[in-house]
Structure 1
Amino acid sequence: MHALASILALASTASAIQGFNYGSTFTTGAAKQQSDFENEFTTAQNLKGTSGWTSARLYTMVQGGTASDPISAIPAAIKTKTSLLLGLWASGGDTSFANEILALKAAIKQYGDDFVKIVDGISVGSEDLYRNSPQGIEAGSNVGTGPDTIVRYIKETKDAISGTGLEGIPIGHVDTWTAWYNGSNKAVIDACDWVGMDAYPYFQDTMANDISKSKSLFQEALDKTQQAAGGKKVWITETGHPVSGKTVGQSVASADNAEKFWKDVVCPLLSSNTNLWYYTLQDAAPDTPSPSFGIVGNKLTTTPLFDLSCDKANTGSSSSSSASPSSTGKGGSSSTASGSDASTTSAIGNSGGSPGGVPSGQISSEQSATVTPTAISPISTGTGSSGSGSGSNGTFTVPPASGSTIPASGAQGLQSGAFAAAFGAIMAAIYAL
């Protein structure tokens, strides 16, 4: 029975993490409260036409309107059984980041193991390198920060959780694929346990980017990020297509095109056991931004603006796809090529970074806080467990060809050799009892 339990545990980690990105404020600037996050998380879990959206990626640890109080998304996630990819905002300066650390420590102390066990990972910063690059500045993005600062902040985060229940949780950084492919940012990759990639073919207006090209553009971005990551896990932390807004290059913002993007890009990711946080569940709350990426409109509802099912999706790989490098696990080697130099990256043009460089509601009011932080010692929760929330730390692999005999599993038709092997082992163990 012990062997069977081990096999069942292996099978339970076969599915990857699926979630959405959640800002800390509404479009009016008002801070979201616990009930607001609860409503969003519950809606995501019950969307019609799909299932499994049980993780939330946050951009900050700080509750809007405070200097360093933990964000109210945490108790909302605990209550709704939502796992969290935590985010520490890293472009507000050292005082702002110190407040992020204070909020992280306070959350560990306040919520203990209930919090620790739902954490998927920690992201130190979001698109800071892109916003600090010539492309980001040209695109009118908000202020960013450089690689040396991100590396220092990653070390400070690891020091902050040392001796707590979160010690050992995978820590990474989220940025655009062009930032990762820029060799001058290799030090950040070396400091990360995983690499978070943001990619928006909609914004790549220096290339042919009509909706039919989205799949190949996304795959190219992923290939380059994996090359730069040198074997470290690549998580898809933002991608999507707008349901409304202006035409960028040849890419038209519409619900029909958002659905095609979902079928062509998102569904293959879901079937390939990839950690994915889609942008976004809702960004029109209450006002509709331009462009708007939300799969629901101004009203928070489980009925999406387009079909989210994947049963008729094209799950084959794009023409530019290649198998992802094998992962070496947390803290894996990054000894392979780290991408091009800055001059090569600058020739790519718009990288497909987030709308305006910073998604709606992403920057919380604590960014400009000037409160001098007070020390909070690391608090041990007594669990010794880092927890992983839901699922394994998957990376993208090319889905099986349409003629593959690997059985489909789950609402998204999960085609996972690891899952099939684990299932076979389970059945063999049962018959052997």
Structure 2
Amino acid sequence: MKFLSVATALVAALPYTTAYWKGFNVAAENPDGSCKTQAQWKRAFQLLQDLPGHFTSVRVYAASDCNTLANAVPAAISTGTQLLVGVWTEDAAHYNAEKEALKAAINAHGSDWMIAISVGSEDLYRGDTDASTLAQQIYDVRGMVRAMGVTQEVGHVDTWTAWVDGANTAVIEASDFIGTDGYPYFQSTAIEDAADTFWDSVNAVRNVVNNVSPGKWVWVTETGWPVSGPNYGSAVASTANAQKYWRQVACAAFNQIHIFWYAYQDYTSSPSFGVYGNSAKNIKYDLSAC
């Protein structure tokens, strides 16, 4: 059956209490714009493991930017962390640099540290490419890593609105997994209705995927609620609401779907979604409710 994918096999091998990947999005840049060193990646991974829930899964956005994989992979291996890898697709020179960085990481460290590979991130939402071009890049990266003996799934991350757009079915067909990003905050949803809005978006993507390519997994690759920033209609950014969203969404999602929370740290941004502030002692809200 098509359900017997690599991701399914990995999940089956995990204990019941960790049946789904649960992790955080972590940027390669520090809040001051500098690139994370290997030591800083290691510290970030250790801080996530120190959180309630002991998070050992991380999504990174790129392969070559800021030497992401060159620095993050050794740090991940040393801390028992596994990575959902990103490969940027634009422009041609950048895309080739990303592929070379991914190849270098695999040649140096194998692939046991890797959860999966996302080719592109919200490219369709931004209108930076078309579905046919992106699909070919997914096939390209998959072919490259399969030739290296890598069996992890290769897919794409985009907004839920991009996935339900009928113009983008070629990307669903090309992907082993579908990573969906959904933010009720940006949909101007009041916190009281946020959980329903979140699951409505996930189910909308699942329905489309099941119609196009039955059996493929839908992952949540970004969601969260900002601790500070402007309001969007009825959506109010606050620490209290971020706490509520965590308890309403994360605690339920951890037992239902692969999910990567946004975000580990972004305290200079507005809106700011970061769980950590500018130090390990500065956790924005309580994550112990799950």
Letter in 2 for 1:222: V
Gaps of 5+ in 1: 1-8, 133-143, 311-411, 413-433
C-alpha deviation, 1:130, in angstroms? 0.5
1:170 correspondence with 2:153: yes
Amino acid at match of 2:91: G
Match of 2:262 among 272, 275, 279: 279
Letter in 1 for 2:57: S
Is the CA contact (8 Å cut-off) linking 2:53 and 2:288 kept in structure 1? Answer: no
Structure (1/2) with the larger strand percentage: 2
User: Any idea what the Cα deviations from partners look like across 1:3-44, whole Å, max 9, x if unmatched?
Assistant: xxxxxx956353211111111112332111111110100000
Is 1:37 matched up with 2:41? yes
TM-score (structure 2 length as normaliser): 0.90
Partner of 2:191: 211
State the percentage of identical aligned residues.
39
Tell me how far apart the structure 1 counterparts of residues 48 and 69 of structure 2 sit (CA, whole Å). 22
For 2:106 and 2:77, the matched residues in 1 are separated by: 13
Q: How does 1:149-168 map to 2 (within 5 A)?
A: 149-166=133-150, 168=151
Label 1:10 to 1:210 Cα distance change in 2 as closer, same or farther (>3 A): closer
**Matches of 1:162 and 1:210, distance apart in 2:** 45
Q: Which residue of 1 aligns with 2:109?
A: 111
The amino acid that maps onto 1:194 is: F
| Letter of the structure 2 residue corresponding to residue 176 of structure 1 | T
Match of 1:98 in 2: 96
Instruction: Please name the residue that 2:274 is paired with.
Output: 294
Query: Which residue is equivalent to 2:30?
Result: 26
Note the C-alpha offset of 1:71: 3.4
Say if 1:282 and 1:300, in contact at 8 Å, map to a contact too: no
Alpha-carbon distance, 1:182 to partner: 0.2
Instruction: From the CA coordinates, give the structure whose radius of gyration is larger.
Output: 1
Structure 1 SS opposite 2:270: coil
Q: Which has the higher contact order (CA 8 A, sep 6+)?
A: 1
CA RMSD of aligned residues (A): 1.6
| Distance in 2, Cα, partners of 1:13 & 1:191 | 30
Matched residue, 1:51: 53
The alignment partner of 2:147 has SS state of coil
Partner of 1:256: 240
Contact residue 73 and residue 113 of structure 2 kept, 8 A: no
Letter in 1 for 2:236: V
Cα deviation 1:50-94 (Å, max 9, x = unaligned): 213111101101141x6xx8431111101111001011012x211
Which digits, 9 at most, give the CA deviation of each residue in 1:383-427, with x for residues without a partner? xxxxxxxxxxxxxxxxxxxxxxxxxxxxx4xxxxxxxxxxxxxxx
Question: What is the alpha-carbon distance in structure 2 between the residues aligned to residue 70 and residue 42 of structure 1?
Answer: 17
Residue type of the partner of 1:289?
S
| Paired residues of 1:24 and 1:31 also in contact (CA < 8 A) | yes
2:251 aligned to which of 267, 273, 282: 267
Give unmatched runs, 5+ long, in structure 2: 1-10
Distance in 2 between the 1:229 and 1:71 partners? 34
- Which residue does 1:304 correspond to in 2? 283
Equivalents in 2 of 1:251, 1:296: separation in Å?
A: 22
Counterpart contact for 1:85–1:123, Cα < 8 Å: yes
Per-residue displacement from partner, 1:205-264 (whole Å, max 9, x unpaired)? 3xxx11111011101101110011113100110000000011111111111000000111
Is 1:145 the counterpart of 2:129? The answer is yes
TM-score (norm 1): 0.61
Distance 1:236 1:29 in 2: 26
Distance in 2 of aligned mates of 1:276 and 1:62: 24
Deviations 1:275-308 (A, max 9, x none): 1100011112xxx21100011212134x622121
Aligned residues of 1:40 and 1:300 also touching (Cα < 8 A): no
Q: Partners in 2 of 1:26 and 1:10 — Cα distance?
A: 36
Task: Please state how far the C-alpha of 1:163 moved relative to its aligned partner.
Answer: 2.7
Maintained 8 Å contact 1:18/1:52: no
Q: Per-residue deviation at 1:99?
A: 0.8
Conserved 8 A contact 2:20-2:255: no
Q: Distance in 1 between matches of 2:194 and 2:83?
A: 28
Change (3 A) 1:44 1:182: same
Partner of 2:84: 85
Look up the SS of the partner of 2:277 in the other structure: coil
Residue 192 (str. 1) matches residue 171 (str. 2): no
Q: Which letter does structure 1 place at the counterpart of 2:221?
A: T
Indicate if the aligned counterparts of 1:60 and 1:71 stay in contact, CA closer than 8 A. no
- The amino acid that maps onto 1:32 is K
**Among residues 85, 103, 121, which one is paired with 1:126 in the alignment?**
121
Q: Which has a greater percent of helix?
A: 2
